[in-house]
Amino acid sequence: MDFGAAHVVTTATPEALAADPLRPRRVLTRPGTASQAGRLNQFAARLLRAAESTRGRAGGSVVESSAVARWLRIRLVQHHLMVPMRQDWLMFVSEFSTEGLPAGDRFTAWVELGSRSLTPIFVRSDVEDDFPASIRALALGDVQVCLLTYPSLRVHRPPRLIRQSDPEAYQINLLLDGESGVRQSGRETTFGAGHFVLYDTSRPFDGWRCCPSDAHTITVQIPRALLPLPASHLDRLTAVPFSTRRGIGAALSRWLIDMTNRAREFTPDDAPTLSRVTVDLLAAVLAGAVEAEGMLDPRSRRRTLLLQINGFIEQHLGDPALSPRMVADAHHISLRHLQQLFAEEGVTPAGWIRRRRLERCHHDLTDPYLHAHAVRAIAARWGFTDPAHFTRAFRAAYGVTPREYRNDPGARESTTTVRATAMPGGSRHGILPL
C-alpha cells in the first residue's frame, strides 16, 4: 500500500484502532515530502497489523480480520486520493484514481466513491480484479458534474436502494467513447459516443457499457426541483437518446467537456455561474424535445442562445467571412437582436470576434510547433486576410507588433493578454466554455 508523497493527519492511534477497528476516522491529506510519505506508509502498516490481529463486531456478526484490513486499506487510500489541503476547494472539485491502489481494492473503492459523488447503485464488471478508473467531480452547489473513466460494466438500481437513498434528481450520462444502454420506465435504448440519456434516480433502472478501459463519460446530477419543466414532460424523456452533434445538444456537450477538462482553473466563487449555465443548457435540450421551450425562464433562454452563438463563433473563427450578419442569420435572429444580446455583456459582436481571433493568434505566435509558419500565415489561419490590418489590431491590443512579440522574449514578458473579460453568457477568466 503506497500513499505517495502525502501527509495524513488522523485522530486514531494504532492502539485505539485495535480497540475499535470499525470506528470511522477523519483523515485529511495534503501534499508532503518523500520522508513524510515514508512515515505515512510505516504508520499505515502498523494500523493494518493492528487491524489484522483484531476481530471487530458489526451488526452482531463477527468481522474477519482480513475484511477489517481491507476496510481500513480502502478508506485510508480513498481519503489520500480524494481530500485536498483546502476544504473550500474540496467542496468544489475532487479527483480520484484507482492507479495508486492495490489491484484487488480498485473496484470496491471506485464504486463506493462513485456512489458518494452521485447515486448509490450496484455495479458488476468482468475486470473487478484490476479495475482502472478515475473520477473528477465538481460540486456546483446542488448540481454534481463528474468526468469518469472506467472499463465495461453493468449497473443496477433496484427499489431497495432507492428506499435507502434517493437524491430525488435526474441524471444524464454523456458518452464520449464506446457504447452504452439503459432501461427505465418500460423503455430501453442503446446509444453511442456523442449522445446522452436522461434517467430518474427515484425509479429503478439498469444499464451497461461496452468500451475500452480509458473511455470517458460525463455524468450530471441535477435535483428535480431545479429543472423548470413539469415531471409529466420529463417522464417521457427517460431512457431516450439525445444527440450532441448539433444545435443546443452540441452546446451542452462542449460546455460540459470544457468545464470538466479545465476544472482546476475555476474557484468556488464560479460554482453558481457554472451550475446555472449547466441547468439552462440541459433544460433547453429537454424542452426542445417536448416542444416546451415557452416554459423556460426568459433569462435562461437568453443565456442558452448566447452560449450557442459563442459556440458558433468559436467554430468559425478561421472563416474570413465570419461577421455579425452571418452569426445572426445562422441563429435566425435579427442583427439588431444580436447586437442587443452582446451589448448587455458590454461588448459588440464584431468586437468579440476580433478579440477571440487576436487571442488565438497571440497563443499561436509562441507555439513551438508553429514556429516555421510565417506571421501572416498564422493571422490568415484565424481569419485575418490583411496583414497590415492584423498588425495594427495586434499592436492596439498588446502594445507590440506580432513579429516583436514572437521574436523578443522581453516583449512577450511585457505584454498582457487582451483584457480578460467574461465571455458573453459564460464565466470568468476569459475562458470559452463552448
Q: pLDDT tens digits, residue range 62-81? A: 333 444 444 444 444 444 44
The architecture that CATH gives domain 307-414 is Orthogonal Bundle (1.10)
- Comparing 358 with 425, the larger pLDDT belongs to 358
Which tens digits make up the pLDDT trace of 16-27?
A: 334 433 333 333
Report, as an integer, the average pLDDT of 384-388: 94
Cα angle 183, 187, 190; round to 5: 60
Q: Is the pLDDT of residue 336 over 60?
A: yes
CA distances from 239 to 147, 185, 375 (A): 20, 8, 51
Whole-number mean pLDDT of the chain?
76
Give the SS3 label for residue 220: strand
Q: Is the pLDDT of residue 223 over 60?
A: yes
Which tens digits make up the pLDDT trace of 121-139?
A: 999 999 899 999 999 999 9
> Can you tell me the distance from the alpha carbon of 278 to that of 264, in angstroms, rounded to the nearest whole number?
17
- Per-residue pLDDT band at 295 (split at 50, 70, 90): low
Please count the other Cβ atoms lying within 10 Å of the Cβ belonging to residue 246: 8
> Can you tell me the distance from the alpha carbon of 224 to that of 230, in angstroms, rounded to the nearest whole number?
9
What does the pLDDT read at residue 297? 67
Give the SS3 label for residue 173: strand
Q: Which residue has the cell 495524513?
A: 8
Here the cell at position 243 is: 444527440
Q: What is the CA radius of gyration of the chain?
A: 26
What does the pLDDT read at residue 413? 59
- Per-residue pLDDT band at 412 (split at 50, 70, 90): low
What does the pLDDT read at residue 114? 78
The pTM of the full predicted model, rounded to 2 decimals, is: 0.61
Which tens digits make up the pLDDT trace of 236-275?
A: 889 999 999 888 899 999 999 999 998 888 888 899 989 9
What does the pLDDT read at residue 143? 93
Q: Name which CATH class applies to 86-295.
A: mainly beta
Q: Is the pLDDT of residue 426 over 60?
A: no
Residue 274 buriedness (CB in 10 A; 0-12 / 13-18 / 19+): buried
Q: Is the pLDDT of residue 1 over 60?
A: no
What does the pLDDT read at residue 5? 31
Query: What are the boundaries of each domain within the chain?
Result: 1-84, 86-295, 307-414
